[in-house]
Structure 1
Amino acid sequence: MSRLLQALFGRLPIGWLQLTHNRTRFAAALAGVAFANVLVFVQLGIMNSMGAATLRPYDFFQADIMISAGDANSLSDGGNVARQWLLQAMADPDVVDGMGLFMANVPWDRGEKDISLSTFGVDPVKPGFIGVQIADDLPLLQVQDAAILDRLARGLAKDEAAAIRPQTPLAFEAQSRTLVAYATFAGGGGFGGDGYMLVSDQTFLSLFPARSSAAPDHILLTLGRGADVDTVVARLRSLISDPSLRIRSYADAAQDDLKYQQTRRPTGIIFGFGVLIGVLVGLVIVYQVLSTDVADHLREYATFKAMGYGPRFFLSVVFEEALVLGVMGFIPGLIVGTAILTLMGKITTLPLAMSFSMAVSVFIGTVVFSAISGAIATRRLAAADPADLF
């Protein structure tokens, strides 16, 4: 390490030698930086998983345009949409087909603990609106009370889910009805439920008899080949007579949902503050270590200052220490953070994992906040008079 730093800075690695002179303090400083990294990694991992979990149900379907109620900020909230707007939308020459999408949470009584399934009611004769991984099994939903179950749902054993197929279906009780799962798909638990389930729109209405077939939660539209989505959206806004409706491209609806979850829902705001707190913890730890080191070596620094060394030299020494703390503290933080996220992902079935972009961003952030801490720590030294330090 000494040779590497000497080649990097072109001088004796004074910062490294000062840090390693007291190995106990050095180890404690690295542990503090690693802890701050772990905190940031976990918070970022949860934030990213919330984003992935928000967008995941959009992958279950295929559409070009989605029509929702004016207060619908996500797939699961907001009012219903009258089916008559589907008929009006079909009058547009570029709209090829449409489907009403129903959604609600269905509790599955498992004895010790219920499983909350985010359930979608779809038209089983319209595979064009269903994602590739589910479309082949869609005809199974033409049977009343049939379901396609999320095999990654929290609380559902892997061997139990693996046994579900048309020849060996799984019957279970939900909403005082007996549902039969004939197939599975890969969903996974989210923040709004333990997993997902698809049923036909008729089965959905039997689960929720107060709901009406004339009022789905959303309307999905597909356009003809070559049609411009934004142009059709603009036409539909003038064609449909209810100005309160949210008429957006399907991709925009997904991004609006993600933005809402991250910036307006309490969970997203809390996780964002968690990342900020992790950064502040790292700043405080590195600053405390560097300022203590500067105070302990004021006489040595005064000697250099009396010999004519300027502020740039002292700043480079402290930056060297900050770089060492940032890089060496990042490595154990990355290892521990990866292990924690992997364990949390297995327990919660949330898409929690360490990504390359997340590791790079945290590494750069660690080096930057270490450098900022170093710059703050040198202020006392820059203002000191060598004659006052002996």
Structure 2
Amino acid sequence: MQSGFKDSLFKSVSNIPRKLDGDLFVIHKQTEAIWRGSSFPKYELMRACGHPDVKEVKKLYIGQAIWTNPQKKSKRALLVFGVAPDKCIISSDEFRSKKSLLTIKDSALFDDRSKYDFGPIKEMLKTGPIETEVNDYRIKVMGTFSLGTSFAASGNIVVSEDSFFKLFPYKSHNRVDVGMISIKNKDLTHQVKKDLQALLNQNVFVFTKKELIEHEEAYWRINSPIGFIFGFGTIMGLIVGMVIVYQILFTDITNHLNEYATLKAMGYPHSYLVKIVVCSSMILAIVGFIPGALASAALYKVTESVTYIPMDMTFGKILNVFSLIFLMCVASGILAMNKLKSIDPADMF
């Protein structure tokens, strides 16, 4: 479960950069994560238009705002993405077909994978557009798209540039949070990246999509306490499991000292007794892992349905966890074998 939480953390936080429609991305060097970024001058991004291999340049504005549930009137924080209505920021056919709705004044597209606390938006849209407030400003939700929640944001909306600056009047029109660049020839992506990094100001990074995902994950792995907590939880789970298995094996050896002494008196070497204990620990690993894996798979589904954060039970994860549990049980068996060294058949009988 701890491994699943950790993997879902990294998968959810990289969900936004993974779905952004671009080959190269420009961010300020002080940007720790997309949702926690620093803006840079717009003219820096526009300089990239002069490169012969650049196909398109898109400006992306990002801010955190307060959403008002249209039914309950409760308020929740979400991420707001501002973009030119004629530009596609999400690489999906669904978003491309609906981006024209952003040309309507004070309109928005709502992420239908946001948590239910924001209201049953998708169901309410069946009867027509929904009016609500974001940062106490009246907007009209015209449709939905699919992006997904993360540990950073439990909801998302996309608005036009004009609407974005109405929601965030303190933000400057001359600064951009993320620059998205499309390349004519994908094979030249790395070369164009080098060219643009040399051309643009030293205060910005030019990342490929893979590098942007790694940058996003690095924030949560290194700078955020959440990544450390889940990693530490995995280690603590192994330690606690090792102690429990050790106690089981030690108690079993203690309860059967006479039998082990009898085997020793019959001429069985100490290595044979060691094999018995190690085999017992292996049986514990296998028999305990199967119901544990099934229970975890069920809990993954429950957690995903409640949090809307993807949790996948992959074969690689199953193999890794089983390997750790197997080694844990064998290590516990090796520790418990110390009791066998002191067995003397003469003392037993």
Classify the TM-score, shorter chain. over 0.9
2:108 to 133, 147, 152: 147
- Alignment-derived partner of residue 84 in structure 2: 123
**2:146 is equivalent to residue 207 of structure 1:** no
Q: Unaligned 5+ residue runs, structure 2?
A: none
How high is the TM-score relative to the length of structure 1?
0.83
Secondary structure of 1:66's match? strand
Shift of 1:293: 1.3
Shift of 1:316: 1.5
Secondary structure of 1:147's match? strand
User: RMSD of the alignment, in Å?
Assistant: 2.0
Query: How far, CA to CA, are the matches of 1:370 and 1:172 in structure 2?
Result: 56
Q: Which moved more, 1:104-113 or 1:44-53?
A: 104-113
Secondary structure of 1:324's match? helix
Query: How far, CA to CA, are the matches of 2:68 and 2:300 in structure 1?
Result: 29
Q: What is the percentage of aligned positions where both structures have the same residue?
A: 27
**2:287 is equivalent to residue 332 of structure 1:** no
The answer on whether the counterparts of 1:150 and 1:187 sit within 8 Å (CA) in structure 2 is yes
**2:157 is equivalent to residue 197 of structure 1:** yes
Secondary structure of 2:313's match? coil
Shift of 1:164: 2.0
Shift of 1:388: 4.4
The answer on whether the counterparts of 2:102 and 2:159 sit within 8 Å (CA) in structure 1 is yes
How high is the TM-score relative to the length of structure 2?
0.92
Secondary structure of 2:41's match? coil
Shift of 1:139: 0.9
The answer on whether the counterparts of 1:67 and 1:246 sit within 8 Å (CA) in structure 2 is yes
2:138 to 170, 178, 182: 178
Residues 222 and 174 of structure 1: CA distance in aligned 2, closer, same or farther (over 3 Å): same
Query: How far, CA to CA, are the matches of 1:374 and 1:247 in structure 2?
Result: 52
- Alignment-derived partner of residue 134 in structure 1: 95
Q: Which moved more, 1:185-194 or 1:140-149?
A: 185-194
Residues 272 and 112 of structure 1: CA distance in aligned 2, closer, same or farther (over 3 Å): farther
The answer on whether the counterparts of 2:24 and 2:180 sit within 8 Å (CA) in structure 1 is yes
Matched residues, number: 346
Letter in 2 for 1:147: A
Shift of 1:244: 2.3
Shift of 1:105: 1.4
Letter in 1 for 2:47: Q
- Alignment-derived partner of residue 303 in structure 1: 262
Query: How far, CA to CA, are the matches of 1:295 and 1:384 in structure 2?
Result: 10
Residues 371 and 77 of structure 1: CA distance in aligned 2, closer, same or farther (over 3 Å): same
- Alignment-derived partner of residue 269 in structure 1: 228
The answer on whether the counterparts of 1:151 and 1:158 sit within 8 Å (CA) in structure 2 is no
Query: How far, CA to CA, are the matches of 1:330 and 1:221 in structure 2?
Result: 47
- Alignment-derived partner of residue 219 in structure 2: 260
Letter in 2 for 1:187: L
**2:218 is equivalent to residue 290 of structure 1:** no
